[in-house]
Structures are given as structure tokens and as C-alpha cells.
Structure 1
Amino acid sequence: MISRENSDALCGFLFLVLIFLLCLIVLPTREFLIFFSVLAVVGTIASMLVLKYAWRLRKWDNDD
């Protein structure tokens, strides 16, 4: 069974892939690919930090 956190992450990833494919059809330039690559890296790092922080909060809350 897929947990709630994994389900949200999977939906977010599929949404990014959908946006990428739509933009690739509309605007297939080199600048777009560079922009989306940077956006993907920043988004991945941000989501990892948010999930790490959320896991710490949940672990801290369960210790009580």
C-alpha cells in the first residue's frame, strides 16, 4: 500500500512530468531545457528538505 507521503510525492512528480511534456511541445528551445533542468534540481532539493523537516516533526511528536 502506498503511504500518503509517497502518494503526494508521486502526484507531484507526475505533474512536473506533464508540465515538462506540454512545454516541450509548445516551446522546444535550448533555453527552456536549461530553465526546466534548473527548476527540477531546485524543486527536488526543496522537496527533500521539506520531507526531512516533516519527518523530524513527526518523529519528535511521536516521542512524547
Structure 2
Amino acid sequence: MVLSFDRWVGKVAIVTGASSGIGAAIAEQLVGKGLKVVGLARRKDRLDELAQKCSGKKGELYP
């Protein structure tokens, strides 16, 4: 089974725990697929670093 993210491109996803670990990995993958991701976490500085890392990809990360 192949999952297609085409129907989600441009939609908004909320990812909690996005500053590290699985949350950061999920947020980064979703941005790469073209989603607008709202990343939530306690460590804003790490969210800002992740947003810089994701800049230039298909979607966008909003820390």
C-alpha cells in the first residue's frame, strides 16, 4: 500500500513535541511533503532551529 500526501498539500498539521525526537522528525517530513506545520513544544529555540532547517522545502514550519 502506497500512501499519497497529495490530498494534504497546503493543509495545516499540528505536531506536539516538535522540538526533538519523533515530533521533530514527523514535522520535518510533513514540511517536506508540502504541509503547513504548526510545531508546538516547550523549547522555542529548538523549534526555531528546526524552522531554519526546513526553510526552502515544499511546505512551511510555524514554530
TM-score, structure 1 normalization: 0.29
Larger radius of gyration: 1
More helix by proportion, 1 or 2? 1
Larger relative CO (CA 8 A, sep 6+): 1 or 2?
2
